[in-house]
Structure 1
Amino acid sequence: MEYQEAANLILQAKNMYALTGAGISTESGIPDFRSDTGYYKEFDGATALSRDVLLGDPDRFYHEGFVMLKDLFAKKPNAGHKALKKLEDLGYLKGVITQNIDNLHTLAGSKKVFEVHGHTRTVHCMSCHKTYPFQDYVDLVTVEEEIPPRCPACQGVLRPDVVMFGDMMPQDFQDAYEAMETCDLLLVAGSSLVVAPVSYLPGMAKKLIIINKEATPYDYKADVVIHEGIGQALTKILSLVEEGASR
């Protein structure tokens, strides 16, 4: 019943966006950040991935935060990412707002992706701002054992292009906020909706679908709530959308 209701909302929407969190990527082998089996069980992500630790305690950053970032590399998109890409191809989804830094929406082929917490494709020099591939950065740390890794051009400190605790939000967040001003349906997939300021975005949508294994603070106001695996749920909804569009 909930799947058909979700498909009907998608078929009727004019400006639908998706908001994704760590839950969509667990099926790609990436542990989430907040469950008992997530990264926060091993590290305190609020400090391990903070600007203060990156700059003030690089040894800790490269033994904790860096490990979390490096583990995202070489993962593959799953059925959830592919279903959202297909919804975009069909013209129903205008874009994906993601809290994830794992690049999986881009790898799946989604064209309009707002990476509101950054990504792990590149790093940049904090002095000269030159950009390098993330793999070059990994090699400096793991092969050259350079902590902190330095810019080959000017010897400034390199840092990942991810939004850390203590950083300003990037332009992608402002762009996502502006997109939400015209959003008539937001499909939330795999987000706990507790991390600000992204957690404010669902309140801007006229209608709301939430797919998440655990309850969220927005369940009470959502039009449809599905507590199930993201890949399975999105695949079912996509099938019903395609069936409805063919009638």
Structure 2
Amino acid sequence: MRMRPTLNWTPTGDLPPGTTDLEPVAAALGTGGVLVLSGAGISTESGIPDYRGEGGSLSRHTPMTYQEFTASAPARRRYWARSHLGWRTFGRARPNAGHRAVAAFQRHGLLSGVITQNVDGLHQAAGSEGVVELHGSLDRVVCLTCGAFTPRRELARRLEEANAGFAPVAAAINPDGDADLTDEQVGDFHVVPCTVCGGILKPDVVFFGESVPPSRVAHCRALVDGATSLLVLGSSLTVMSGLRFVRHAAQAGKPVVIVNRDPTRGDQHAVARVTLPLGTALTTVAGQLGIPGDGTL
């Protein structure tokens, strides 16, 4: 492996300008003990849009809140119709070069852990292990009454049977796997209940307006405490669920490096924000660190 650069950092509180210089990323990884925090931006190259970047889904789509989902049967019908259709596309997404690079860094002992704000499972599909899914995962379904978990593929089969011929054309697929459908397209979509108790089913993800489980937050804080530095990949850090870990790292004197095209809410805590596309940036850094690449890292 090539000589690894050293990351020197003095917290100033100044807002770093965006840069295309990959040295801060290579320096952090070269030191080892890096904790990765990823957001929707790392999955855009897999065909899954982000929330807040250019053309992000929040400009045209308001995600359903937990309160709306639990209080309204029509809202649940609307959600499951859209989510069922979106799952057909979302479930076929495959890891891209960014996910594969993160897995390669982990295999080579450069990472102390991986936290993702995404619900797509693509880090695991690329080979990353021990990934903390901060907001849960769309491939699991939980009953809000009895707490039973079932695989999403099983629910998809039941929904297919209950809604034969349901095949509207969606305007777009969103980062949460929700498809954009009109009320007319949703129609009288039939929602199925829990097979154990007949209760309400919900994807095992943290909805807007819902809190991340405290035990999960505590685990992530412990990962930050045990890391040498924090590498943020493709997150705007707009919501507190991710930003709090950036603040925690900075307060502990740990370098924070961000790779994100647009400015983020955590830039003031970072040594640098790299504005290159994630797949290109991480693959290039892997080469600089002597990690052999065969097209899949």
Question: Does TM, normalized by the shorter one, top 0.5?
Answer: yes
CA distance in 2, matches of 1:167, 1:175: 18
Q: Give the partner amino acid of 2:35.
A: Y
Q: Distance in 1 between matches of 2:147 and 2:210?
A: 16
Q: Distance in 2 between matches of 1:42 and 1:61?
A: 20
Taking a change above 3 Å as real, the CA distance of residues 173 and 124 of structure 1, as seen in their structure-2 partners, is same
Task: Give yes or no for contact 1:128–1:154 (8 Å, CA) kept in 2.
Answer: yes
Residue 150 (structure 2) pairs with residue 106 (structure 1): no
Residue pairs, 1:62-141, within 5 angstroms: 62-64=77-79, 67=82, 70=87, 71-141=89-159
Deviation track 1:84-103 (CA, whole Å, cap 9, x = no partner) reads: 00000000011111100001
Distance 1:225 1:34 in 2: 17
Number of paired residues?
240
Q: What RMSD in Å do the two structures reach over aligned CA positions?
A: 2.2
Unpaired stretches in structure 2, ≥5 consecutive residues: 1-19, 164-188, 292-297
Larger RCO: 1 or 2 (CA < 8 Å, sep 6+) = 2
Deviation larger for 172-181 or 52-61: 52-61
> Partners in 2 of 1:213 and 1:66 — Cα distance?
33
Gap regions ≥5 residues in structure 1: none
Structure 2 CA distance, aligned partners of 1:229 and 1:96?
19
1:78 deviation in Å? 0.4
Is the 2:28–2:34 contact (alpha carbons within 8 Å) kept by the matching residues of 1?
no
Q: How far did 1:58 drift?
A: 3.6
Write the distance in 1 (CA, Å) between the matches of 2:154 and 2:268. Answer: 46
SS in structure 1 opposite 2:289?
helix
* Residue matched to 1:188: 232
Matching of residue 25 in structure 1 with residue 40 in structure 2? no
Percent identical pairs in the alignment equals 31
Task: Using structure 1 for the length normalisation, give the TM-score.
Answer: 0.88
* 4+ residue segments displaced more than 6 Å: none
Report if the CA contact (8 A) 1:21-1:190 is conserved.
Answer: yes
Residue by residue over 1:68-110, the C-alpha shift from the partner in whole angstroms, topping out at 9 and shown as x without a partner, is 5624222101000000000000000111111000011111110
Q: Which residue of 1 aligns with 2:268?
A: 220
The CA deviation at 1:39 is: 2.5
Structure 1's 177 and 152: CA in aligned 2 closer, same or farther, altered over 3 A?
A: same
Whichever of the two has the greater Rg, that structure is: 2
Task: Give the conservation status (yes or no) of the 8 Å contact 1:43–1:64.
Answer: no
- Higher mean displacement: 79-88 or 119-128: 119-128
Residue aligning to 1:160: 203
Equivalent residue number for residue 2 of structure 1: 21
TM-score (norm 2): 0.74
